[in-house]
Structure 1
């Protein structure tokens, strides 16, 4: 990487993040509904309850593991009263964004690495618009990125970060699926269990209601942006007698056949987990990029099959995809590129055209269909490539960033075959 390209990348990051801050601080208008209300109203309301030492058990929108309380309480621990709760939250999110940028840049300069991941993060995050700074998912993604970059050389660090991340929003536990069997997995899983279990025990003893999230979503419907929602979008055109309403903090379909479609979504997620376990059982090759590739694939599968695909979930995939593209040996260039494209469509779907999505007109259904279709395609490609990578048979690394930013590159180092 030349100094000029590094300066250009930094300039893009600074410009795009300045624009995001101007949007969330409402210095410049952004089309669609106000996405900052989640912070200034919901998060701040939770903050007032959590600071008393209890979880908001009576609030159905609280659906998170107990570690999320640390994120919600964090703005109160930063002495910036002139910014208020919301302003401080946005700056903390910016700090996590900068941390990911720095980690990817540092990792990209090491042997066997590349700087493509920095570009994926720099370009992918702002595609979601101000939503990405008005939710706490970017902070969770920062923990997951740090864990994956710690890698197999520091499995206990990786495991500790995974345990902490899982207490924030569960999904980081999937980062353990691609670790090499044996000592690496034992150390990582042990550290994850110690940190996650220890923190969970502290919350259980000190704050009533810490485990309420386990049953908080059992009566949810199917969210209007999810894959299963396409059934009901089409059904409304054909006379389906259901309704769309704000339910459990998101806009969902409720009515006939919704429980069936939600159950099918859960079945698909279970099938995805089964596939990951089968891949892990079969895998014999664990190269430098395998942990990142498997984590990206696993989270992509669970995001796509979820009965709720909130827009901010895409930042999980952008972050994990950026880590994949930091490794020369990664085979995920095409699915990562597809995810970045889906992220851009998501930024149009919410908040800009969200009224069309709720209405279920051609534009709204079309944009959701395109986004979900790209995610499904990316999931299929990622599965095929991970399967070939783990088996080692005919594994052919994707050449650098050609799919994402163009250009050829040298072949990655050979993978070592390890005994299971």
Structure 2
């Protein structure tokens, strides 16, 4: 089969500061590039990301910045029209206008890649229409979702998606692997501050740190308020670029996964940090949510905790043989099922199927429904 010309329009590829989109797109697109596809990423030139670019010139795609929706139309219309398929991500600035523009211009199928599906549905239920409107969902040939399970049926039955399919986050196995560095912290956490995650972080890391003052803990990520009372044995790292993630995970005895409330409610919403940590050979302690065991069998490839007592027991009562066995089971599962190469194959299959459906049943023309 001939390679595809795929255009992505996403929140950011160039900067991983304060978002999980960049690393998701990077791993996926590296996998597609390795398969020979021609890739273009269109990114709105936003000041915050422009000042914090950690991948300004990717070697696996053409990265083009645009200033406005009008510029997207005037300067990049041929790029969009020539593409075999276009993939629009969630949280694109002025996304509703971008979707209306692209679905009207594109000659090939258009997919929506929702990296925030539970958040997206909650925002639409609250009447927010910043990057997707409910009436636009039927415009897409396929709705690709970070969340699986019952949410996919909801997208088709209640929102009119022609096809809803999971395209979970993934890890770049070439970059995330054990580094062999000595252990520095007993428990760590990597994540941007989020008010709905903070109570769980307090219960599963900060309180255990208070109870185990002779143990070492670490929290990495930006935007944490200055008034948080960090125990003295909790090290803070304000920002950790992706290149430093493998070292960070490899130096932890255990790492903590904390899930946002909307994603817990939806279930089947794994965080990319789960896959990154597992690929680095670090055993994970996670909060509980429906579908977790579909990704990592609980007790053999991941440990769960409901409160500080469980975390303290894990840190003080887990032997080294058990700890390394859990880490090995998780790493094997990720390398087999959750790499950028695997996701690239899944995306390619979805796009080729959409192209075939269009060839068999040419659409009469899209009508903007923003």
**Range class of TM-score, shorter chain:** under 0.3
Q: TM-score, normalised by structure 1?
A: 0.25
More helix by share: 1
Give the TM-score normalised by structure 2. 0.27
